[in-house]
C-alpha cells in the first residue's frame, strides 16, 4: 500500500491498530516528496531531520494524541519555533521565530509531525503562488498551471500526497481557491474560531487559519484541534468548540440550500457552472431543498476587500523595517536604510498593496475609501445574515474558472484579483466556508464547490460537504505524477 | 496692547501597572536594555496584543476623579509612523473613541478658583528608547515599549504659565492619590507638552500656536511658558508673525527653541485596531472601579478642617500627598492631638524628610512612635526641647521614644529638692546678676533659667525651675 496516499483518519486508524508505525508513514511521505517535489515545488523548507527525529521518538510510545505521527505541512506564514518562517519573502528569508504559533502548538500536543513549510504568495498576497519571492509552485493536475494561492504550496502538497494534510490561511480565498484548483478540501473557519497568534498578519480583520485535506472528515478532525479560544488572541471567540466529526454522516433531508443568483453570472466558466449545478442536483436528490436567493451587494465585494485588506496590510507590514530582524540593507542614514531594505525585501505585489493601503488611509481619503469600505462591508455581512434567515447553507462555485496557466494573469493584477470574486465576500462577512471537489473540466482540471455557513456553524457546512462527498467519487481521484 | 495667553496641555502619564499594556512583561524601570521584552512588545511577525484590564481601570478611575464621561464602547486605533523605537511601525493608541471624554479639574490660584476643562483621556502604549552613544550607529532599548501611557488633553482654558503649573501640581496630586501614576517628572513618568498662543485681550479667536516640549518639572513649565508667552508677545508687538511649530525648552539657556515645523508633520493614518475588540465598560464594572476611588485631596482637606479643627494651611499641606494624610490620620487615631501631630509633622518630620529626600511612606519613624513621644511630653516625662532631640534619634533609627529616653538618661528632672539645690548653686555663683535682678532687671530671669538648664542638660522641668527661681529671687 502507498501509505502517503492516506488521509488523517485512515492513517491514525492504522497507527492505533499498530498496523503501521509513525516512522513507516513518514518514510513513505518522504519517499513521495523525493519523487515528486522537484516537479511540484510545494515546500519552501522541508523538515526531514526533525521530522524523522520526532517519528523515532513517537515510535514505541503509546498513542496519546489525535495526530500521533501524522506528517502535516504548514504554510510558511505560520510561525514555528526554531523553524525558518519566510512568508515567501526576501525580507524574512532567514527569519527563525523564537516562539510557536497557537495552531502548531495545538497540533504538537496531539503528536503531529511537521513535514515542512509550504510556499505561498509573498505575505499571502496573491492567488497563484506566482508572487512567491523564491519559486512558483505547480499544480499537480497540470504542472503548467498554477495551484492557486496564496496557500498554493499547502494545496499542492496535499494533492500530490507530499503530506497527509496541511494548514493554510485564508484572507480572501487563500485556502478555498487553491483547494478548488488542486481538487482537495479546504476549510476557512468562521473569523474568530481559530487563533491567529503566530500567523504573520496580512489583513488582521480577515485572516483565518484553516485545514487543507484529502477529505471532509480530515478537515473536521483538524478543526477540532485548532479551533477554540486562545488568550493570546482577543479576536478568538470564547465559545466552546463542538466535535465537528459528530456532525458527519447526519442526513441533510429538508436542509435548505441557498443558490445566490449573483454567483452564476457571465464570466463563469461553463464547465464550472455545470459542475456546481450538477452538485446542487445531487444534494437535492439527497433531500436538500435548493432555493434561489440574492446577496445584492456582491458586486462591491472585491473593491471593498482591496481597500480594507490593503489598508490593514500597509500597517501590518510596517514592522519589516530592517531594525530588529529580517533583511537589512545599509543606507547613508535611517531613511535610506528603511527604503533600501523595503525596496529589496518586498516584491512588486506587496509593494503595490502597501501603496494602495497607505493611500486609502491617508488623511483626506480615509472617509472616501476606508470608512466607505467598512460601511459596505457591513452591508455585505447583512446580505449573508438576511440570506441565512431563509437557508441553512449557501452554495456557489469556489472560483469562476479552473486553474489557469502559469503567467496567464501575472501582467494584469485586476484579472488576478477577480479569481477570488466568489471567496472574498465570505471573508468580509466573517462566515465559514468550505471548498470540496465537485467534478473535472474537459481538460481534467478539478472544479470546486463552495459551501458557506452561518457564523460559527461549521457543523452544517461539514455535514453537507460530507454527505456530498460520500455520494460522489471526485475526492478519490488523484493526479498522475 | 494688552495680550492674553491661551494654553492647552497634553499630558502623558505612565501607569503604575505591574505589566505592560498588551503583554505580560514587567514595567520595571532601569533594567538592562531589552531584558523586559517578549515577542509581543518587540513586534515579532505574527504576534497579537492583549489588553491589560488594569490599565483600562486606571484610566477610568482617573476619568471618574476628573468628572469625565466614560465611553461605554471605546476602541483602540493604530497610529502609523516609522521610527526605530517603535517596533511595530505603529503605536496602539485611541483616536475616535477614547475611554474618557469631557471633564474638568479645578485649580486655585491667589484664592481664585477656576475650572480647567478636559477634552479627553485615552490609553496608549509607550515607545522604546533610541540610544545614541556616538559612532555611526544607534541602539534601541525596547524595555519601555508597550508600557501603558495615559494621555490627558485639556481644552485651551489656561491663561497663564502659573495656571499651567498649578494645573499640573493638582493633576499630579490626584494621580498619586489614585495610585495610577508615580508622577515623577524628572524620570519622565509624568510628561507635559503645551500648546501656546497669545491674542489681544478681549479677542475671541485664537492666535497661531506653538507646541512646547521638554518641560520636565513644575518650575520649568512655568519658566518655559513664561518665556514663550513673552516671545510671542514680543514678535506680535513688532508686527511679526508667529510660526506654527514645535519648540523645545532648553533649561540651561532658559529659552524655547524651534524643533521642526508643522509642515513636516506626519499623516498618522489612524484606523481602528483590528487585533482588538472594542472595550465595553458596563455599569457593573464602572461601579466596581468607582468603589476603588479614594477620597481626593480637596475633599480630604475640607474634612481635615472640619473634623480636626486644623487651620486651612495645615490641612492643605497635610493632604497634598495621600501617604502624608494617611500618616496624620493614623497618628490621630492612635491618640495624638491633631494640631500637635500636625505641628510635629510639618515642623520636624517634613524638615528631616526633605533634607534627606525621603518619601513619608519610607520614613523609619511611624505614627505610633510620634504618638508615643507626644505622650512622654504630656506626662512631663521629658521636656519639649528634649523631645526634639529624641525625635531626631527616632527618625534616624526608627526606635521607640521611651527606649531612647531611658537609654540616654533624658528623663525630665521633676524632683523639686534636686532642682532647688541646683538653683541655689546658680544664685550663689552669680551674685552680681542676682543683685541686678533685684534692682529691677527682670529680663535676667531668662539668664538664670538658661544656667539651670545648662547644668541639668535641659532635663529640668521648666515649670518647676521658673517657680523656684521666682521664689528664691524675691526672697
Residue finishing a domain among B358, B382, B408? B408
Average pLDDT over residues A282-311: 97
**Does some domain include residue B102?**
yes
Task: Report yes or no: B43 at the A interface, CB cutoff 8 Å.
Answer: yes
Q: A19: buried, middle or exposed (CB in 10 Å: 19+, 13-18, 0-12)? A: exposed
Contact A234, B277 (CB under 8 A): yes
pLDDT of residue B421: 86
**Does some domain include residue B27?**
yes
pLDDT of residue B453: 85
Grid cell 498619586 — which residue?
B176
Same domain, B54 and B94: yes
A174 assigned to active site: yes
Quick one: closest CA in A to B92, which residue?
A315
Is the model more confident about A300 or about B412?
A: A300
Average pLDDT over residues A282-301: 97
Same domain, B99 and B80: yes
pLDDT of residue B262: 47
A311 assigned to active site: no
> What span, in angstroms and rounded, lies between the C-alpha atoms of B123 and A274?
55
Query: What does the CA dihedral B453, B459, B461, B462 come to, rounded to 10 degrees?
Result: 30
Average pLDDT over residues A105-125: 98
Task: Report yes or no: A264 at the B interface, CB cutoff 8 Å.
Answer: no
Cell numbers at B151, concatenated:
494621555
In the predicted model, is pLDDT for residue A433 greater than 50? Answer: yes
Question: How many domains, chain B?
Answer: 3
Among residues B102, B127, B98, B130, the alpha carbon closest in space to that of B115 is found at B102
Alpha-carbon dihedral sign for residues A260, A265, A270, A272: negative
Q: Which of A28, A88, A169, A174 is catalytic?
A: A174
pLDDT of residue B265: 62
**Does some domain include residue B209?**
yes
HSE-up of residue A403 (Cα within 13 Å, Cβ side): 35
**Does some domain include residue B9?**
yes
Helix then strand count (H, E) for chain B reads 16, 17
**Does some domain include residue B291?**
no
Contact A448, A180 (CB under 8 A): yes
Contact B159, B5 (CB under 8 A): yes
Highest mean pLDDT among A229-233, A415-419, B403-407: A229-233
Same domain, B238 and B321: no
**ipTM for this prediction:** 0.96
End-to-end CA distance of chain B: 77
Pairwise CB contact (< 8 Å): A362 & B87: no
Same domain, B96 and B204: yes
**Domains, chain A:** 3-255+390-476 (3.90.1300.10)
Helix then strand count (H, E) for chain A reads 15, 11
Cross-chain CB nearest to B39 (options A98, A315, A317): A98
- State the DSSP string of B353-416: HHHHT--GGG-SS-HHHHHHHHHHHHTTSS-HHHHHHHHHHHHHH---HHHHHHHTT---B--H
Phi/psi-derived region of residue B255, left when phi > 0, alpha when psi is between -120 and 50, beta in every other case: beta
Pairwise CB contact (< 8 Å): A233 & B48: yes
Average pLDDT over residues A155-174: 98
- State the DSSP string of A327-382: -----SSHHHHHHHHHHHHS-HHHHHHHHHHHHHHSTTTTIIIIIHHHHHHHHHHH
Distances B93 to A114, A236, B123, B301 between C-alpha atoms, Å = 38, 21, 6, 36
Same domain, B443 and B391: no
Task: Report yes or no: B409 at the A interface, CB cutoff 8 Å.
Answer: no
Same domain, B103 and B74: yes
A395: β partners:
A451
pLDDT of residue B261: 52
User: Residue B108 sits in which domain range?
Assistant: 3-285
Same domain, B134 and B275: yes
Contact B168, B192 (CB under 8 A): yes
The per-residue pLDDT string of chain B (475 residues; one tens digit each, 9 = 90 and over) reads: 899 999 999 999 999 999 999 999 999 888 999 999 999 999 999 999 999 999 999 999 999 999 999 999 999 999 999 999 999 999 999 999 999 999 999 999 988 999 999 999 999 999 999 999 888 889 999 999 999 999 999 999 999 999 999 999 999 999 999 999 999 999 899 999 999 999 999 899 999 999 999 999 999 999 999 999 999 999 999 999 999 999 999 999 999 999 865 445 679 999 999 999 999 999 999 999 999 999 999 999 999 999 999 999 999 999 999 999 999 999 999 999 999 999 999 999 999 999 999 999 899 999 999 999 999 888 877 877 788 889 999 999 999 988 888 887 777 777 778 888 888 888 888 888 888 888 888 888 888 888 888 888 877 888 888 888 888 887 6
Cell numbers at A381, concatenated:
455581512
Cross-chain CB nearest to A318 (options B47, B80, B276): B80
Determine the length of chain B.
475
Q: Which of A41, A75, A409, A463 is catalytic?
A: A75
Q: Report the CATH number that the domain containing residue B452 is assigned in CATH.
A: 1.10.10.410
> What span, in angstroms and rounded, lies between the C-alpha atoms of A139 and A148?
8
Same domain, B255 and B311: no
> What span, in angstroms and rounded, lies between the C-alpha atoms of A157 and A223?
19
**Does some domain include residue B292?**
no
Residue finishing a domain among B285, B312, B333? B285
A132 assigned to active site: no
Contact A101, A80 (CB under 8 A): yes
Q: Which residues of chain A neighbour B267 with C-beta distances below 8 Å?
A: 362-363
Q: Which residues of chain B neighbour A196 with C-beta distances below 8 Å?
A: 46, 48
Same domain, B325 and B351: yes
Among A195, A234, A332, A378, pick the best mutation site for testing chain B contact (most B Cβ within 10 A).
A234
Alpha-carbon dihedral sign for residues A52, A56, A59, A63: negative
Contact A72, A107 (CB under 8 A): yes
Lowest-pLDDT range of A137-146, A273-282, B137-146, B371-380 = B371-380
Pairwise CB contact (< 8 Å): B47 & A101: no
Quick one: closest CA in A to B43, which residue?
A319
Q: Which residues of chain B neighbour A317 with C-beta distances below 8 Å?
A: 89
Same domain, B358 and B426: no
pTM here? Answer: 0.90
Angle at B98 between CA B96 and CA B101, to 5 degrees: 110
Residue finishing a domain among B357, B382, B408? B408
Angle at A291 between CA A287 and CA A297, to 5 degrees: 140
Quick one: closest CA in B to A78, which residue?
B46
pLDDT of residue B260: 65
Task: Report yes or no: A163 at the B interface, CB cutoff 8 Å.
Answer: no
> What span, in angstroms and rounded, lies between the C-alpha atoms of A348 and B12?
40
**Does some domain include residue B290?**
no
pLDDT 10s digits, A50-93: 999 999 999 888 888 999 999 999 999 999 999 999 999 999 99
Same domain, B227 and B255: yes
Same domain, B390 and B426: no
A35-38 contacts: CB < 8 A, separation 24 or more?
A35/A481, A36/A140, A36/A160, A36/A161, A36/A162, A36/A481, A37/A162
Distances B90 to B80, B124, B126, B271 between C-alpha atoms, Å = 4, 11, 11, 11
Amino acid at each position: 500500500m502507498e501509505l502517503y496516499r492516506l488521509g488523517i483518519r485512515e492513517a491514525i486508524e492504522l497507527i492505533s491498530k499498530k498496523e503501521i508505525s509513525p516512522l513507516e508513514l513518514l518514510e513513505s511521505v518522504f519517499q513521495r516528496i523525493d519523487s515528486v517535489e522537484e516537479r511540484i515545488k510545494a515546500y519552501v523548507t522541508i523538515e526531514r531531520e526533525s521530522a524523522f527525529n520526532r517519528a523515532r521518538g513517537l515510535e514505541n510510545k503509546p498513542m496519546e494524541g489525535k495526530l500521533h505521527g501524522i506528517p502535516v505541512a504548514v504554510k510558511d506564514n505560520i510561525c514555528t519555533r526554531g523553524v525558518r518562517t519566510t512568508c515567501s519573502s526576501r525580507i524574512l528569508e532567514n527569519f527563525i521565530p523564537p516562539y510557536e504559533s497557537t495552531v502548531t502548538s495545538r497540533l504538537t500536543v496531539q503528536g503531529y509531525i511537521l513535514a515542512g513549510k509550504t510556499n505561498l504568495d509573498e505575505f499571502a498576497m496573491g492567488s497563484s503562488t506566482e508572487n512567491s519571492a523564491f519559486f512558483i509552485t505547480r499544480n499537480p493536475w497540470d504542472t503548467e498551471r498554477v495551484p492557486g494561492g496564496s496557500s498554493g504550496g499547502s494545496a499542492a502538497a496535499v494533492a500530490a500526497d507530499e503530506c497527509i494534510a496541511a494548514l493554510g490561511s485564508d484572507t480572501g480565498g487563500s485556502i478555498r481557491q487553491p483547494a478548488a484548483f488542486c481538487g482537495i478540501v479546504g476549510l476557512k473557519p468562521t473569523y474568530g474560531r481559530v487563533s491567529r497568534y503566530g500567523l504573520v498578519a496580512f489583513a488582521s480583520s480577515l485572516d483565518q487559519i484553516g485545514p487543507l485535506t484529502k477529505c471532509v472528515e480530515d478537515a473536521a478532525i483538524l478543526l477540532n484541534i485548532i479551533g477554540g479560544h486562545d488568550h493570546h488572541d482577543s479576536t478568538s471567540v470564547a465559545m466552546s468548540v463542538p466535535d465537528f466529526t459528530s456532525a458527519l454522516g447526519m442526513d441533510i433531508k429538508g436542509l435548505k440550500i441557498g443558490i445566490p443568483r449573483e454567483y452564476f453570472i457571465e464570466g463563469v466558466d461553463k464547465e464550472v457552472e455545470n459542475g456546481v449545478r450538477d452538485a446542487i442536483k445531487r444534494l437535492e436528490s439527497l433531500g436538500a431543498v435548493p432555493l434561489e436567493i440574492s446577496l445584492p451587494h456582491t458586486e462591491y465585494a472585491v473593491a471593498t476587500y482591496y481597500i480594507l485588506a490593503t489598508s490593514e496590510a500597509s500597517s501590518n507590514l510596517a514592522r519589516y523595517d530592517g531594525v530588529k530582524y529580517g533583511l537589512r540593507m545599509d543606507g547613508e542614514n535611517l531613511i535610506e536604510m528603511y527604503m533600501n531594505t523595503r525596496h529589496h525585501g518586498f516584491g512588486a505585489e506587496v509593494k503595490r498593496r502597501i501603496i494602495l493601503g497607505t493611500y486609502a488611509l491617508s488623511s483626506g481619503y480615509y472617509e472616501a475609501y476606508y470608512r466607505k469600505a467598512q460601511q459596505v462591508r457591513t452591508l455585505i455581512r447583512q446580505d449573508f445574515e438576511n440570506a441565512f434567515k431563509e437557508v441553512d447553507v449557501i452554495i456557489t462555485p469556489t472560483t469562476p474558472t479552473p486553474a489557469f496557466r502559469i503567467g496567464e494573469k501575472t501582467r494584469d493584477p485586476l484579472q488576478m484579483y477577480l479569481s477570488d470574486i466568489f471567496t472574498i465576500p465570505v471573508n468580509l462577512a466573517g462566515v465559514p466556508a468550505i471548498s470540496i471537489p465537485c467534478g473535472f473540466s474537459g481538460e481534467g482540471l478539478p472544479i470546486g464547490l463552495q459551501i458557506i455557513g452561518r457564523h460559527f456553524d461549521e457543523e452544517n457546512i461539514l455535514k453537507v460537504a460530507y454527505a456530498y462527498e460520500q455520494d460522489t467519487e471526485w475526492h478519490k481521484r488523484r493526479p498522475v505524477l | 496692547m494688552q495680550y492674553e495667553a491661551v494654553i492647552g496641555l497634553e499630558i502623558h502619564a505612565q501607569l503604575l501597572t505591574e505589566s505592560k499594556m498588551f503583554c505580560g512583561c514587567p514595567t520595571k524601570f532601569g533594567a538592562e536594555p531589552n531584558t523586559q521584552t517578549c515577542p509581543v512588545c518587540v513586534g515579532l511577525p505574527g504576534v497579537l496584543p492583549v489588553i491589560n484590564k488594569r490599565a483600562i481601570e486606571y484610566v477610568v478611575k482617573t476619568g471618574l476623579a476628573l468628572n469625565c464621561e466614560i465611553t461605554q464602547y471605546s476602541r483602540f486605533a493604530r497610529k502609523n509612523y516609522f521610527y526605530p523605537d517603535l517596533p511595530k511601525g505603529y503605536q496602539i493608541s485611541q483616536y475616535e473613541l477614547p475611554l474618557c471624554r469631557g471633564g474638568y479639574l479645578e485649580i486655585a490660584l491667589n484664592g481664585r478658583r477656576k475650572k480647567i476643562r478636559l477634552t479627553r483621556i485615552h490609553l496608549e502604549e509607550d515607545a522604546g528608547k533610541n540610544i545614541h552613544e556616538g559612532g555611526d550607529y544607534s541602539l534601541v532599548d525596547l524595555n519601555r515599549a508597550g508600557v501603558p501611557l495615559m494621555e490627558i488633553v485639556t481644552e485651551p482654558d489656561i491663561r497663564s504659565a502659573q495656571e499651567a503649573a498649578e494645573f499640573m501640581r493638582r493633576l499630579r496630586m490626584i494621580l498619586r492619590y489614585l495610585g495610577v501614576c508615580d508622577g515623577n517628572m524628572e524620570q519622565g513618568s509624568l510628561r507635559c507638552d503645551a500648546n501656546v498662543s497669545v491674542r489681544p485681550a478681549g479677542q475671541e479667536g485664537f492666535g497661531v500656536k506653538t507646541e512646547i516640549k521638554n518641560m520636565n518639572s513644575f518650575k520649568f513649565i512655568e519658566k518655559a511658558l513664561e518665556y514663550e508667552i513673552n516671545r510671542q508677545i514680543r514678535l506680535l508687538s513688532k508686527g511679526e508673525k508667529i510660526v506654527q511649530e514645535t519648540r523645545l525648552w532648553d533649561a540651561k539657556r532658559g529659552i524655547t527653541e524651534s524643533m521642526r515645523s508643522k509642515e513636516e508633520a506626519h499623516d498618522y493614518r489612524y484606523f481602528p485596531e483590528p487585533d482588538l475588540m472594542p472595550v465595553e465598560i458596563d455599569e457593573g464594572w464602572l461601579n466596581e472601579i468607582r468603589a476603588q476611588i479614594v477620597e481626593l485631596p480637596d475633599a480630604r482637606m475640607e474634612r481635615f478642617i472640619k473634623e480636626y479643627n486644623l487651620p486651612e494651611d495645615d490641612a492643605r499641606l497635610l493632604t497634598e500627598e495621600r501617604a502624608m494624610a494617611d500618616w496624620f490620620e493614623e497618628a490621630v487615631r492612635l491618640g495624638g492631638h491633631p494640631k500637635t501631630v500636625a505641628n510635629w509633622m510639618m515642623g520636624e518630620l517634613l524638615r528631616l524628610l526633605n533634607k534627606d529626600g525621603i518619601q513619608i511612606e519610607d520614613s523609619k519613624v511611624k505614627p505610633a512612635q510620634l504618638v508615643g513621644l507626644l505622650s512622654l511630653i504630656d506626662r512631663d516625662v521629658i521636656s519639649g526641647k528634649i523631645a526634639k532631640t529624641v525625635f531626631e534619634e527616632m527618625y534616624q533609627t526608627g526606635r521607640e521614644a521611651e527606649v531612647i529616653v531611658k537609654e540616654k538618661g533624658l528623663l525630665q528632672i521633676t524632683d523639686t529638692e534636686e532642682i532647688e539645690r541646683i538653683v541655689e548653686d546658680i544664685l550663689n555663683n552669680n551674685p552680681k546678676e542676682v543683685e541686678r535682678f533685684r534692682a529691677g532687671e527682670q529680663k535676667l530671669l531668662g539668664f538664670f533659667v538658661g544656667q539651670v538648664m545648662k547644668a541639668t542638660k535641659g532635663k529640668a522641668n521648666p515649670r518647676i525651675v521658673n517657680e523656684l527661681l521666682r521664689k528664691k529671687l524675691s526672697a
